[in-house]
Structure 1
Amino acid sequence: MRVLVSAASKHGATREIAALIAATLNHAGFDCDHIDPADIANAGHYDAVVIGSAVYLGQWLPEARDLVDRITTQLQDTHVWLFSSGLADAPSKDANATPATAARMAALQAKGHRHFPGKLDVLELSLAERAAILAARGKYGDNRDMDAVKAWAEQIAAALAQEPARTA
């Protein structure tokens, strides 16, 4: 079974989450490709797709939103999961329950969406980003729980193991 994992990441932390998901799925025996959103032209030949994005100001990054727009019609009968990575505080988790996330899930007929706390390095942020993070009461530092990411990827692997591969 072929699986695509892709995530939009501004500073690399969400890309690292996607890499762990891909590695976990590969380890579980799936043929998994980890590709940046801008490098995906066709996702129709995958049996499953995991798409994620860093969240800034309550929104997925444009690269992830564009990817979803480009490939939604290609993913008929494809198993899809979504994830977000952002602030560790409640406001960010609430922001990930936006109508936009619900609309993405409906358009892709996604099996689920998972929010993971993110990583904030003050040295990588612009002054405007720092102000927005401060206003949202974000926590600086690496708040990612990579064990939780791996456990979620293992749940995806278990679900896929019970499904037949898609016929082309």
Structure 2
Amino acid sequence: MNPAGQVLGILLVLGGLFGAGYWAGHSADAEAHKEQVDALQTKVNSANTIAGAERDRADGNATALLSLRATLATERQRRTDQQRAADIELGARDARIKELTRAARAREEETRTKAMADEDCTVLRTLPVCSALAERLWGDAWTDQAKPAGPD
């Protein structure tokens, strides 16, 4: 053989031995790390399971919160509508009370005016009458006439 072929053969043998050694070392190293990789994979799977459970719980909480907010908004709107209706009703009631009070005063004044103008009622003004009846007939005017004259 020629020397170049021998050198090439030696290089091929050395390369093969080096490659086989590298492969054998890498395989042994991979076996040594396989246990660590398996342990880490178990931890990752456990963490993924916990994360999934927490995600599901968070989704449930978010759904419950949205439902609660919607319920509160509905209740707030219902109470606002009730208050608005009560305000309208009270406003109408106040207006009706004022109208009835005004009508009662006008009727009372009309009755007094008619009583003052009617000659038949003149006799009643001079008769002694209990205070409740006098107040009903003449209002506060009878108390002004019944007070004795003197310093106030």
Same fold (TM over 0.5): no
TM-score under structure 2 length normalisation:
0.17
Greater RCO (Cα-Cα under 8 Å, separation 6 or more): 1
Higher percent of residues as helix = 2
Higher percent of residues as strand = 1
Larger Rg: 2
